[in-house]
Amino acid sequence: MNWFNAIIQGVLVGGLYAMYATGLSVSFGVMRLVNLAHGDLAVGSAFIASTFCLATGLSPFLAIFVVLPLSALVGIGLQVAVFNRVVGVDPSYQIVATFGLSIAIQNVLLQQYAANPRALNIGEFGNRSLKLVGDDVVIGLFPLSRFVVAVLVLVLLSLFIGRTRIGRAFRATSDDPDIARLMGVNIRSIYAVAFAIAVTTVALAGIFNGMQTQFSAADGPALLIYAFESVIIGGLGSLWGTLCGGIILGIAQTIGAEIDPGWKQLIGHLVFLIVLLVRPMGIFGKDELR
């Protein structure tokens, strides 16, 4: 059993979980929207990237530049067609609508791509690794760069929300949509931008996931749960908290897998439940959950 290695790998996976969670955090922060189809959007993007690679023979890294703008458009489209109608109404309709969307996306993928798992082949790059401390601790170059990209995305996003005009409108809308509207903020376009960001980040996470492990049509719900747990462990409304939440979840899972392969998910869930019982506002959260 190599605990140190498990922790390092957990941290690297945690970066990916944080990237899944960012979109969930942004859409909840800005419009109090809980999107149950979040994980399915990630899986859908990975499938589209895979189709693109098979059709053109190009590298999955180039597919990112095609899929991400597409996901931004999908995000805006979904916001206008679906989510604008459920923002601010009774949350049960939100849950039912996004749950219906989730079932529909999953089964469209199942019908289109069958139940066989797929993977995005990144060739030699996926096998390269750095050796630390002899042969005991091996860091894959790809997981490491993925972690760096995840942190970079979070840095850019927090600069965007903290420093720009649109970011200020984000924060204002989050605090009080009615007052923000009175001050001249176009709420609907803010919602569209927020959701475009949510879908783009989760699409990137989905593609990164597919570059390392296999994915199949039914994976969406598990990804949604990991994203959700990262958000809650870290604390609502804090992007850096989300990164820490993702890392804690990642470490819990790799340590669980080290003890017994069947316990990987279970230990992750249990850590989440313990945080919920001991500190319901999350590790970095300021006020109570709303």
Binding site for another protein (CB under 8 A): 28, 32-34, 36, 82, 85-86, 90-97, 99-108, 110-111, 221, 224-225, 228-229, 232, 260, 262-263, 265-266, 269-270, 272-273, 276-277, 280, 289-290
Provide the sign of the torsion angle of the four alpha carbons 56, 61, 65, 69, taken in this order. Answer: positive
Q: Closest distance between another protein and the C-beta of residue 166, in Å?
A: 25
Query: Up-side HSE of residue 149: CA atoms within 13 Å toward CB?
Result: 19
The burial class, CB within 10 Å (0-12 / 13-18 / 19+), for 213 is exposed
Nearer to another protein, 111 or 124 (CB): 111
Q: Closest distance between another protein and the C-beta of residue 211, in Å?
A: 26
Q: In this structure, are residues 190 and 1 in contact, taking their beta carbons and an 8 Å threshold?
A: no
Joined tokens for residue 124? 């030699």
The overall longest dimension of the chain from CA atoms, in Å, is 62
Provide the sign of the torsion angle of the four alpha carbons 37, 223, 155, 290, taken in this order. Answer: positive
Nearer to another protein, 8 or 40 (CB): 40
Closest CA to 9 of 234, 249, 204, 223: 249
Nearer to another protein, 60 or 268 (CB): 268
Q: Closest distance between another protein and the C-beta of residue 184, in Å?
A: 28
Q: Closest distance between another protein and the C-beta of residue 52, in Å?
A: 23
Q: Give the DSSP per-residue string, 157-182.
A: HHHHHHHSHHHHHHHHHHH-HHHHHH
Separation between Cα atoms, residue 19 and residue 206, nearest integer Å: 9
Q: Closest distance between another protein and the C-beta of residue 192, in Å?
A: 17
263-273 in b/e form (b: 16+ CB < 10 A) is bbeebbbebbe
Q: Closest distance between another protein and the C-beta of residue 161, in Å?
A: 21
Nearer to another protein, 143 or 238 (CB): 238
Q: Closest distance between another protein and the C-beta of residue 257, in Å?
A: 13
Nearer to another protein, 165 or 290 (CB): 290
Which residues neighbour 255 within 8 Å (Cβ) at sequence distance 6 or greater?
3, 6, 7, 10, 267
Nearer to another protein, 28 or 147 (CB): 28
Cβ–Cβ contacts within 10 Å for residue 206, how many?
31
Residue with token string 């931008």: 193
Q: Closest distance between another protein and the C-beta of residue 228, in Å?
A: 5
Nearer to another protein, 64 or 202 (CB): 202
